[in-house]
Amino acid sequence: DGGITQSPKYLFRKEGQNVTLSCEQNLNHDAMYWYRQDPGQGLRLIYYSQIVNDFQKGDIAEGYSVSREKKESFPLTVTSAQKNPTAFYLCASKIGGIGQPQHFGDGTRLSIL
Amino acid sequence: AQSVTQLGSHVSVSEGALVLLRCNYSSSVPPYLFWYVQYPNQGLQLLLKYTTGATLVKGINGFEAEFKKSETSFHLTKPSAHMSDAAEYFCAVTSPGGDKIIFGKGTRLHILP
């Protein structure tokens, strides 16, 4: 079955550590996205990428970094500079073209120890 | 600029009653609109989308939405609520360039027995 796989489902981070969240898709989608979800705030865009080796900052990119070395993969690193990283992180992808919907993974919940 | 306003962060309806979730949008170009549903600790699932053509759009699980350009609205309805409809619902609009989707803050739907 085609889809988006996020791993791990739950992740714990100590203060001062960087952590990397994995996102893999086998839908052959061109664009990929990372969102942060906090209660009552909806989805906020962190980074997105429309093609390999290129990505753009979203609304809340500070404290995060990404790479897009392969079409299928778009890992997100939460750096120690992100002071409030506890949240639910969602990865999405979509095929090229205006009006196409995004497809989502099942998310990673990150907590600070 | 594109934006989405969902009226009511929480909506409660009785099982078997009409479900109405309100969404108003602002768009500088003809909009592409979406409704997504999210169950606890899961990703978002596409319910339905409006691109062009028929203004009444039917989706999965018995939901439908009507695009009203004059009212800049895209309200989601279901004739008879089911306990399994309890979830969070997000309305969204495509950005002018089509590279991003702007989400509303979500409406949590509660179903009363």
Backbone angles phi, psi at B106, to 5 degrees: 95, 150
Residue A1 has pLDDT above 70, yes or no: no
Question: Across the interface, do B34 and A101 touch by the CB < 8 Å criterion?
Answer: yes
Q: Cα(B21)–Cα(B66) distance, rounded to whole angstroms?
A: 11
What is the arithmetic mean of pLDDT over A48-77? 97
What is the arithmetic mean of pLDDT over B81-85? 97
Pairing assessment for the beta strands A43-51 and B33-38 based on DSSP bridges: unpaired
Q: How far is A35 from chain B (nearest CA, A)?
A: 11
Question: Across the interface, do B9 and A40 touch by the CB < 8 Å criterion?
Answer: yes
Q: Which residues in chain B have their CB less than 8 angstroms from residue A98's CB?
A: 32, 94, 97-98
For residue B31, the chain A residue with the least C-alpha distance is A99
pLDDT at A81: 87
A-B C-beta contacts closer than 8 Å: 54
What is the arithmetic mean of pLDDT over B94-113? 93
